[in-house]
């Protein structure tokens, strides 16, 4: 097992890229920290109860809480698998916790998208609450409006995708997560792709860079 970390702002397309690639490559596994947390919130687990308020405000949940979930996934992932880590680490402390697991990091790919474009993208984002597939009303619409192509569930707008919370999430990204660019650059692991070429080309560029 090894890992590729996807770095990028909320709405940069990390989840879409990782989801697409994992669907068509049996040895790639998409692990989204946001999906793990939303799952815990939906189930009402103790971790979910603790995380809920932070998530609704667009803040990071406590490092130890999400790090434990990621460690559990790492422990249960064996064999010839590359984990596409989407949303973790989100700050330097988490990156150090990840390093301490000893799981090898193959590369870190920054999906680069300017803030102005992020706001528009998130405004049109729709998510399947059941199978977690992601859509966009114009850039990546489902075949039937409002319905998931893959499992038929009704698509939703994530609670934290409202414009005010998105602004807060971007502030958090620049303050907490962006320092990871220099952190991984110093380790010679960083690659960068232009995340503004559309879902198919973004996924191709990512695969070539990782
Ligand atoms: P995402 O789906 O990656 O945009 O994550 C949604 C929300 O989950 C974030 O705004 C945070 O509240 C929380 N979250 C996800 N990943 C992490 C993480 N690595 N550390 C702290 N909070 C996280």
SS3 124: coil
Q: Are strands 134-136 and 125-127 parallel, antiparallel or unpaired?
A: antiparallel
Integer angstrom CA distances of residue 12 from 4, 112, 152: 16, 7, 25
172 CA closest ligand 1 atom index: 10
Q: How many CB atoms lie within 10 A of CB 22?
A: 18
Count how many domains the chain has: 1
Ligand 1 interacting residues, C-beta cut-off 6 A: 10, 33-34, 37, 54-55, 58-61, 66, 87-88, 90, 94, 160, 169
Residue 11 belongs to a domain with what CATH number? 3.40.50.300
Q: Quick check: 115 and 9 in contact, CB under 8 A?
A: yes
What separation in Å is there between the alpha carbon of 59 and the centre of ligand 1? 8
User: Tokens standing for 70?
Assistant: 């990621």
Domain of 65 in residue numbering reads as 2-113+172-209
What separation in Å is there between the alpha carbon of 10 and the centre of ligand 1? 9
Give the pLDDT of residue 189: 98
Does position 139 have pLDDT exceeding 90, yes or no?
Answer: no
Predicted confidence (pLDDT) per residue in 80-113, tens digit: 999 999 999 999 999 999 999 999 999 999 999 9
Integer angstrom CA distances of residue 71 from 11, 51, 62, 118, 142: 25, 17, 15, 30, 34
Q: Is the peptide bond before 113 cis (omega within 30 degrees of 0)?
A: no
In this prediction, residues 50-74 reach a mean pLDDT of 96
pTM above 0.85, yes or no: yes
Minimum mean pLDDT range among 28-32, 150-154, 164-168, 203-207: 164-168
Residue 134 counted as domain residue: no
Residue 125 counted as domain residue: no
Residue 139 counted as domain residue: no
């Amino acid at each position: 097992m090894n890992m590729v970390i996807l770095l990028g702002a909320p709405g940069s397309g990390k989840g879409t890229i990782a989801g697409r690639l994992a669907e068509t490559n049996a040895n790639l596994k998409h692990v989204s920290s946001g999906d793990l947390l939303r799952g815990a919130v939906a189930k009402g687990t103790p971790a979910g109860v603790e995380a809920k308020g932070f998530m609704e405000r667009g803040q990071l949940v406590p490092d130890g809480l999400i790090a434990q979930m990621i460690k559990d996934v790492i422990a249960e992932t064996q064999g010839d698998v590359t984990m596409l880590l989407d949303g973790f680490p989100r700050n330097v402390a988490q990156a150090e916790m990840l390093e301490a697991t000893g799981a090898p990091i193959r590369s870190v790919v920054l999906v680069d998208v300017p803030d102005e474009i992020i706001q528009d993208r998130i405004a049109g984002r729709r998510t399947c609450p059941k199978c977690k597939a992601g859509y966009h009303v114009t850039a990546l619409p489902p075949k039937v409006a409002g319905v998931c192509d893959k499992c038929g569930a009704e698509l939703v707008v994530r609670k934290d995708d409202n414009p005010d919370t998105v602004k807060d999430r971007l502030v958090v990204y620049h303050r907490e997560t962006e320092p990871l660019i220099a952190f991984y650059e110093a380790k010679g692991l960083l690659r960068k792709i232009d995340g503004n070429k559309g879902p198919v080309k973004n996924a191709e560029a990512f695969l070539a860079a990782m």
